Amino acid sequence: MPNDLLTGLNPEQLRAVTWAQGSALVLAGAGSGKTRVLTTRIAWLIQAGQVSPMGVLAVTFTNKAAREMFTRLSAMLPINTRGMWIGTFHGLCNRLLRAHHRDAGLPQLFQILDSQDQLSAVKRLLKALNVDTEKYEPRKVQAFINMNKEAGLRADKIEAYDPYTRRLAECYAEYDAQCNREGVVDFAELLLRSYELLSRNAMLREHYQERFRHILVDEFQDTSRLQYDWLKLLCAPSNVIFAVGDDDQSIYAFRGANVANMALFQKDMGIEEVIKLTQNYRSFGTILDAANAVISHNENRLGKDLWTEAGRGEPIRHYQAASDTDEARFVVEEAQALHRDGMRYTDIAVLYRSNAQSRAIEHALFSAGLPYRVYGGLRFFERAEIKHALAYLRLVANSDDDNAFLRVVNFPTRGVGARTVEAIDAAARAAGTSLWAAACAQGAGKKGVAAFVQLIENLRHETQGMSLAEQVEHVVARSGLIEHYKSERDGEDRIENLNELTNAATAFSAEAGNVVSVAADIDVADVKSASADSRNQSQALVDFSSGVTPEGLASTESRLSAYPLLAAFLAHAALEAGEHEAQAGQDAVQLMTVHAAKGLEFVAVFITGLEEALFPHENSLTELDGLEEERRLMYVAITRARRRLYLTHAVSRMLHGQIRYGLPSRFLREIPEALVQSIAGWRGSTAAPSDERFAAVPPRHAAAMPYRVGDRVRHARYGEGVVAGYQGQGEETEVRVSFPKIGDKWFILEYARLTAC
């Protein structure tokens, strides 16, 4: 048999591709060529005559990975790959259910509900059942249904020990009945129903066991327990499962990924020896040594060390910034320097743990005129929750803003339906007024509209005399947005973004302080020409106020004069949300969360915000396996870099509109000092012995911080808790402690009465 397929494989890869001793677990480190191994394994099996193309089942986690596998196979072998079973779990389950829709109890042309469609279906159900949606919020009901489906549980299998859970289970059962009547399935149902079909239909199960003698699974560390059980159903004793994954890169527990499946697979399949792919083809040795050092602190891992023949490379660069603004400035200046030295902007990535961190970095890039692109997400001022908050602020500054009115008149939901909005719009057009004016005229007879009008009027009254940051914080808090997002699956990120909007206002106030007067007698013309950031303020204000007549502009301007800095801030937000992001294919700096960076690589990588309670995230300090998953996330971040790696943290960071002092991330300390070169930061020092390199706060405050974030402490009244952060300075330093039963408590450090556990 020709060996062209095997040419160029290293010994570890060759061993994996030609494995002939039953099922195998391949531990594939970052950058070790796992996709090549998987694809070559399939081609080798087919070429060796061990299986036909139709006898292979290959499971990936993204459609992109599946397409890449098809492309590579077509280049390797002269075969028709069209009919091969290669795809995602959901895609393959959909294919199985289509082929056996009668056995699955589904119509031939069943439809699939996306997340929004499913939410609409849940809302219809709750209305039909006359369920109190304030107590049983539709999104929470949706999450309950999906959580149990992903755990393999139908409504009648749920252990409900209280009336609330029993009612949720009843809603789940009725939801299933509704979906069956309508012939639709949601994403979680695809896998669960496919599993149930194979479980109860022995003839069908044996058919597919006989057909798929070789099952290959990519990203095995990200499988859920139900996905693992589905795979086991398809595997007869004589079948071979070839599972490729990396327990050190398991970072999706919040999506149901169960890293323990790797150890379970070893036990269930009787695997005595794990094949390890450890030669890295991406990064220089210094970067790999740092990754190995960090991940070695995790206890529950199969264990491996990456290595490379590429050489040591450059030292890792560490920068301790005075503030998050200074950190962003440093990133921009270094990116500019790299570009001057010939590196493309596209080869530079800025990573952060939380989406909210992008705001300061985006602002610095925007101000410097550098092209950038937010990968896998929206820029800060384009995010839905931020646009909602800005709409409330725009109405406070100018109630005649029709676009803002339409955006939030019924968000969060307050019973203002489409017909009511249409009636308001018709009345406004007939009278030649704004929607707000028409709503005020008609609101008395419409409970939801009246409540909305009263809310905006209250906000306008309550924010008089407040600073810009206070105005933003107050409007966000009173708008109901935070409470609304608490019930959403990604609500934590959205709430962090809303809190970051207050920080943006604080930063804007500081920047605009020299050019925008906040005197009571300032007029709109002054605001419109106040600063470079507001150079298009006039057009922005007109855009905000679509539909305002020339006669109405005077009253609009009189209201704006009461909010000069707010008006300027809104113009600034509009400018930064404009068409400044780089287009696809344009050379631009790449911004993304660490989660979004998985599977990608860049010549130069900045890992920012390396502070305790930020990275690792504060939630991880009290969650089971939380800290180990955060460390795996750091491992993923480090191994994205090919040639140059920057690690940055800030001595102070704006959080919730206040300056807080943080401690450097423990992950920084876990990297050997010999691998790191410190760059002159706010101290102006480059020497950096160990204690200096990781000084957390200015020396005058260091003595006031006796505990690290993450330390377990005991309080005489509240019991055992975890130190979650600090704020203030000197005698006013406060420490935040998270207690399992009562939540967070702030204490003046001097009187905290805390003892180390």
- Neighbouring-strand partners of residue 617: 613, 614
Q: Is the dihedral of CA 413, 415, 417, 421 positive or negative?
A: negative
Contact status, residue 569 vs residue 530, Cβ threshold 8 Å:
no
Catalytic-role residue among 12, 13, 34, 326? 34
Q: Return d(Cα 527, Cα 515) in angstroms, integer.
A: 9
579 is annotated as an active-site residue: no
Of 378, 290, 364, residue with least CA distance to 330: 364
Q: Return d(Cα 267, Cα 259) in angstroms, integer.
A: 14
Read off the amino acid at residue 1: M
Contact status, residue 332 vs residue 370, Cβ threshold 8 Å:
yes
Which token pair is 393? 């602020």
Q: Return d(Cα 481, Cα 268) in angstroms, integer.
A: 47
Paired sense of beta strands 240-245 and 24-28, if any = parallel
464 is annotated as an active-site residue: no
**Rounded alpha-carbon distances, angstroms, from residue 306 to 11, 38, 286, 421:** 15, 19, 11, 61
Cis check for the bond before 237: say yes or no (omega within 30 of 0): no
Which token pair is 569? 């801030």
Of 202, 206, 221, 231, residue with least CA distance to 92: 231
Phi then psi for residue 661, to 5 deg, are -100, 130
The region that residue 335 occupies, defined by phi over 0 for left and psi between -120 and 50 for alpha, beta otherwise, is alpha
Catalytic-role residue among 249, 308, 537, 590? 249
Of 34, 694, 672, 25, residue with least CA distance to 292: 672
249 is annotated as an active-site residue: yes
Catalytic-role residue among 213, 276, 282, 640? 640
Q: Return d(Cα 186, Cα 111) in angstroms, integer.
A: 9
Catalytic-role residue among 218, 246, 400, 488? 218
**374-409 as b/e: b if 16+ CB within 10 A:** bbeebbbbebebbbbbbbbbbbbbbbbbbebbebbb
Catalytic-role residue among 12, 137, 186, 219? 219
Q: Return d(Cα 657, Cα 475) in angstroms, integer.
A: 14
Q: What is the DSSP string of 650-682?
A: EEEEEETTEEEE-PBPHHHHTS-GGGEEEEP-T
Of 634, 630, 625, 632, residue with least CA distance to 605: 634
Contact status, residue 738 vs residue 722, Cβ threshold 8 Å:
yes
209 is annotated as an active-site residue: no
Q: What is the DSSP string of 435-461?
A: HHHHHHHHGGG-HHHHHHHHHHHHHHH
Gap between the terminal Cα atoms of the chain: 65
Of 510, 542, 514, residue with least CA distance to 528: 542
Q: Give the neighbor-by-neighbor strand order of the sheet with 85-88.
A: 85-88, 56-60, 214-217, 240-245, 24-28, 275-277
Catalytic-role residue among 15, 18, 35, 346? 35
Catalytic residues: 34-35, 218-219, 249, 640
